[in-house]
Amino acid sequence: MRHARRRVVRRVTRLAAVGGLLLGGAMVTQAAMASETPPATTGALRSAAGAGDPGDALVARLGTARTAGSWIGADGRPVVAVTDDAAARAVRQAGATAKVVPRSMDELKSATATLRSAPRVVGTAWAVDYRTNRVVVRADSTVSAGDWSRMTQVAAGIGGFVHMERTKGAFTTRLNGALPILSTGGRCSAGFNVTNGQRDFILTAGHCGPAGSTWFADNQGDQQLGQTVDSAFPGTDFSLVQYASGKAGAGADVVSVGGGKGVRITGAADPAVGQRVFRSGSTSGLRDGQVTGLNATVNYPEGTVTGLIETDVCAEPGDSGGPLFSEGIALGVTSGGNGDCKTGGTTFFQPVTKAMTTLGVRLIVSAQNAGGAQGTPPSGAPSAPAAQGGMAPNAASPGSSAPVTGTSEGSTLLARLTDTRNVGPGLLVVAGSLIALVATRYIRSEQDRKAYQRYYSATWG
């Protein structure tokens, strides 16, 4: 019986040692693969320094009295809404598609100004729909019948091009994502890493917390990230969290998309209506959709926010502050919306270009994309829109992939094993397993030798 137990122990030990060899080998192999430079995306990279969107350039040249916005068509070509035939000919000569509409952007903006001047109704939002040449007003489930009736009367006074519609759920900020950041006020998501040249910060949503809020990377409050040093909400929705160490560290140009993976950010720009975009958040991960409107207004319970990007991308509580991007270009940070990622909904984003200009910071990008602009202060001029470059919206991708480094909260076992820093530990596991195999072999030989001696000593005794 004792010999049987010994055999079982030896077998278990050998199996554990072999398992250690396999695990250590996998750690070394995967970590080596993760250290390779990720391939660049096949899609056309767009940067703020690149050529502007042809549609917006035509709108700027023809003026808002003769145009009513531009968007990206299903074939990837820009479409410009114009109010007369002469403007349509100019658009076609420039290689874009023209759509003649009855109302100019001046008329549409006048309508939104009238809506803003009316008594504020919490739970409503509106934006100009370039493609239908109208203003769309939405009211969530919290808006009473009386308020809905009063809003409808205001819309009727403006004109029939103001479209009223009810929507499910409630328009709320998504407080409660990339990577999660936590404070006593709730959980948000880290947006983009930015710098003022001396210190590094996280650009996130303003409603996540006022100046002075302390942020952590874990639920226990052991890993302090930093403190909010500037915040703007309502009106706009952005804030700066200054890193406690002063520096963002390695991988600062990468945003997390879950599973230990990330997307490398190469620049910032303003989006175009119809553009395919991607959002990452610590609650719902990576999601995609299209830009449906610009300069949107939302009446949250906490206050009104204007100048937002409207999308049909879903979001959930905890996704607030998370990054919006496309083809590696930073576009916005998550503000709020309605619905969830099961039923869908509308989500609004604070444009990063306006936030960075106001805060006096710039994106932290990889060395190959920094150029000479990395050491200069941000320009006050708005960035050019992220041009589609003749690419159909559905062909767009998030950007080039990159491993996520830094905060490991919520990372998977596979992500930790494939970390390049685990090459050393992997080799240690291999070495320990080899020692265990040799030791078990030696112990078995010694046991056999002693058994042999006992047998023959008894025989010849």
The pTM score is 0.74
* Domain match, 354 and 229 both: yes
* Domain match, 315 and 341 both: yes
- Tell me if 162 is assigned to some domain: no
Domain assignment of residue 448, given as a range? 2-36+420-460
Say what the pLDDT of residue 308 is. 98
* Domain match, 89 and 189 both: no
* Domain match, 243 and 373 both: yes
- Tell me if 87 is assigned to some domain: yes
Say what the pLDDT of residue 323 is. 95
Say what the pLDDT of residue 382 is. 43
Spatial CA neighbour of 215 closest among 409, 353, 354: 409
* Domain match, 178 and 83 both: no
Say what the pLDDT of residue 29 is. 52
* Domain match, 11 and 61 both: no
* Domain match, 180 and 305 both: yes
* Domain match, 21 and 58 both: no
Say what the pLDDT of residue 18 is. 59
Distance, CA of 155 to CA of 135 (rounded, Å): 9
- Tell me if 341 is assigned to some domain: yes
**Helix 2-34 / helix 423-460 crossing angle, nearest 10 deg:** 160
Number of separate domains in the chain: 3
Q: Name every residue whose Cβ is closer than 8 Å to that of residue 34 and which is 6 or more positions away in sequence.
A: 403, 418, 419, 420
3-state secondary structure of 214: strand
* Domain match, 339 and 200 both: yes
Q: Which long-range contacts (CB under 8 A, 24 or more apart) does 420-427 make?
A: 420/31, 420/32, 420/34, 420/35, 421/31, 422/27, 422/31, 423/27, 423/28, 423/31, 423/32, 423/35, 425/27, 426/23, 426/24, 426/25, 426/26, 426/27, 426/28, 426/31, 427/24, 427/28
Please give the structure tokens belonging to residue 229.
Answer: 């040093």
* Domain match, 195 and 277 both: yes
Say what the pLDDT of residue 288 is. 96
* Domain match, 317 and 234 both: yes
List the CATH number of the domain containing 294. Answer: 2.40.10.10
Catalytic residue positions, numbered? 207, 237, 320
Spatial CA neighbour of 333 closest among 151, 174, 122: 174
Pairing of strands 192-195, 186-189: unpaired
* Domain match, 179 and 320 both: yes
C-alpha triplet 456, 457, 461: angle, nearest 5°? 120
The residues with which 78 forms a beta bridge, in sequence order, are 72
Q: Mind listing the pLDDT tens digit of every residue in the chain (461 residues)? A: 555 555 655 665 666 655 665 666 655 554 444 333 333 333 333 333 334 468 889 999 999 999 999 999 988 999 999 999 999 999 999 999 999 999 999 999 999 999 999 999 999 999 999 999 999 999 999 999 999 999 999 999 999 999 999 999 999 987 653 567 887 667 888 899 999 999 999 999 999 988 999 998 776 667 888 999 999 999 999 999 999 999 998 889 999 888 888 999 999 999 999 999 999 988 889 999 999 999 999 999 999 999 999 999 999 988 999 999 999 999 999 999 999 999 999 999 999 999 999 999 999 987 656 553 343 344 444 444 554 556 677 777 887 777 776 543 333 333 333 344 444 555 565 566 667 666 666 665 666 556 545 544 554 44
